[in-house]
Amino acid sequence: MRPFLSFCIFFAALSAGADVGRFLEPIQIGPKPSMVRYVVKSSALVSPRPSRPQMQKALPATASIVLDRPLMEARLSEALAHRFQSSGKVAVFLTREWRNLRSGSNFMVKIKDCSPDELTSSSFVRFSIWDQGKELGSFAEPVRMAHYVEVFYSKSPLHRGTRLNSSGLSFRLVDILKQHAGSVPAQSSLAGYQLSANIKANTPIKWSNLSKVTLVRKGQIVDVFASGNGIYVTMKGMALGDGVAGGIVNIRNLSSKKEFPAKVLNENSVKVHL
């Protein structure tokens, strides 16, 4: 009787259009699936194909470059600075139109000759360009040059006869091929020099403004140091003329009256090589 009653209730529910899915267990075919786990990965870690070592395309040993005006001026500056073994910085400027060339990055500039053969504000340079042992061309170009060097400047007005030393001077970077030609480089030693003229403050010190300091006067008695061939002798002598630092002056031996040239060392002594 109870099974019949259950069937009647089920049939009534089906006839009424009710949802019977809740009365049925889900039908499973095959093994029960395990729990699914979703993981989000960065796209940077995802590869569409198995990762394999990739061979990168090798760059040529010498990449092709354009030899334009700025590059050629820079290389000519280096080449001429080396040719004349100059201190400071040399700058070269081409004065007429330059036609660009293509070359490898390891190209070389070889200076053939320079007229005049020294650093001057204007010059005519003959040179060639080489790449991988092959000459790309030979050229003859008028150029302007600048030679930048640190030189001494006066900090305050200085008077004639002043003995100079670097501590009382400043220095600036200038082009010594033009209006600053003849200026004294800051690396120069000023020992034994004095001003031969008055100069104003903030003025470059030029060689023409300097004169050697007279250390030995005519008629002065000085110490004479003589050496050579393992012999070392000291004696007294009389200067027969004025002598400047590093200069040569004639000396008379007070004992033998013999005369000989000697190099001035300082205010009281000279040196002679036997």
For residue range 19-43, list pLDDT tens digits in order: 444 444 444 444 444 444 444 443 3
Tokens read off for 27:
């039908």
User: Which of 1.20.1250.20, 3.90.1210.10, 3.40.50.1100, 3.20.20.70 is the CATH number of 148-212?
Assistant: 3.90.1210.10
CA atoms within 13 A on the CB side of 210: 22
Residue 269 phi/psi, 5-degree rounding, is -145, 155
pLDDT tens, position by position, 180-197? 989 999 988 888 888 999
Residues of the chain with CATH 3.90.1210.10: 148-212
pTM: 0.60
Exposure b/e, 26-45, CB count within 10 A at least 16 = b: eeeeeeeeeeeeeeeeeeee
Q: For the chain, which residues score pLDDT lower than 70?
A: 1-62
- How far CA 45 is from CA of 41, 49, 51, 87, in Å, comes to 7, 12, 11, 57
Full DSSP string of 141-163: EEEEEEEEEEEEEESS-B-TTPB
Structural class in CATH, domain 214-273: mainly beta
pLDDT computed for residue 205 by the predictor: 93
Residues of the chain with CATH 2.30.30.760: 214-273
Dihedral over Cα of 93, 94, 100, 104: its sign = negative
